[in-house]
Homo-oligomer: A and B are copies of this chain.
Amino acid sequence: MPINRESELVSSNPQQSNVAASIPRSGSDENFIVERIFKAVMEQRLAPNTKLSEARLCETFGVGRMRVRRALLLLSSQGIIELQSNRGAYIACPDKSEANDVFAARMLIEPPLVRQLAQNSDDIDLAILTEHIAHEDAAREKKERTEIIRLSGEFHTKLAQATGNKFIFRMMRELVTRTSLIVGLFGSSENASCPDDEHSNILKAIQSNNPELAEELLISHLNHIQSGLDMEARQEPQDDLAAILR
């Protein structure tokens, strides 16, 4: 039962964790914080209901309070955290009804999405997807749990990315992130969120210009994920103390 410490937030990128300004970060900077927390959620290292205190984030990322607050606002607008007035920021904790909504939304969008990809598979860049499958296999080989979880979700966002449509990409990204939270909360067994070779089969169907098969495989794939959840016996979310383990 892996318990997370907030310090893991900066673990994956060794440099710039201690000395903040060693490398002049590109981009508008609070995106750096957003991406880190986003990734931690995707890898289920930050459990729902975990409190993210401003002070802690400041020292974790070596950044002023303003940056942290901006990042928190952005994260809350994406539904990844919840801002409670005068109480702080907490990792979002979807309930049963929200979980159903997420899967309903994915059922609405993803089937037509892969269908479209399979129809135009000549025009789009499938190299990224084949490469991704390889990464997934490698991670499974090495039994890197967090990596497997993250890549499993990322496959779906990369499907959206393959359309080259940034709106579709952003929608899927949000839904996939939510799914990650949900799987962490309601996932009954320790199985990685996606069965072994379903991604690979979907990709093959796309490559071989078979829209019907691709769509069918994706639908059953989503159903597998959803049926792997135990909506009733919900894992009680860890609260601040248990999660941070101080």
| Residue positions of A touching B, CB distance < 8 A | 28, 70, 73-74, 77-78, 83, 85, 98, 101-102, 104-105, 108-109, 111-113, 116, 163, 165-168, 171, 174-175, 178
Q: Is the Cβ of A104 less than 8 Å from the Cβ of B165?
A: yes
A120 to B28, CA, bound (A): 45
Complex A-B: 14 CB contacts under 8 Å: A28-B83, A74-B77, A77-B77, A101-B168, A104-B165, A105-B165, A105-B168, A105-B171, A108-B112, A108-B113, A108-B168, A109-B112, A167-B175, A167-B178
Which residue of B has the minimal Cβ distance to A75?
B77
Residues A101 and B175 in contact in the complex (CB < 8 Å), given A73-B73, A74-B73: no
**Chain B residues whose C-beta falls within 8 Å of the C-beta of A83 in the assembled complex:** 28
Residues A102 and B175 in contact in the complex (CB < 8 Å), given A109-B108, A112-B112: no
**Chain B residues whose C-beta falls within 8 Å of the C-beta of A167 in the assembled complex:** 101-102, 105, 174-175, 178
**Chain B residues whose C-beta falls within 8 Å of the C-beta of A163 in the assembled complex:** 104
**Chain B residues whose C-beta falls within 8 Å of the C-beta of A85 in the assembled complex:** 28
Please pick, from B73, B78, B105, B113, the residue contacting A70 in the complex, using a CB distance under 8 A: B73
Which residue of B has the minimal Cβ distance to A85?
B28
Interface of A is mostly: helix
Which residue of B has the minimal Cβ distance to A174?
B167
Q: Is the Cβ of B102 less than 8 Å from the Cβ of A108?
A: no
Which residue of B has the minimal Cβ distance to A106?
B167
Q: Is the Cβ of A101 less than 8 Å from the Cβ of B165?
A: yes
**Chain B residues whose C-beta falls within 8 Å of the C-beta of A166 in the assembled complex:** 98, 101
Which residue of B has the minimal Cβ distance to A98?
B166
**Chain B residues whose C-beta falls within 8 Å of the C-beta of A101 in the assembled complex:** 165-168
**Chain B residues whose C-beta falls within 8 Å of the C-beta of A175 in the assembled complex:** 167
**Chain B residues whose C-beta falls within 8 Å of the C-beta of A178 in the assembled complex:** 167
Please pick, from B74, B112, B116, B171, the residue contacting A171 in the complex, using a CB distance under 8 A: B171
**Chain B residues whose C-beta falls within 8 Å of the C-beta of A77 in the assembled complex:** 74, 77-78
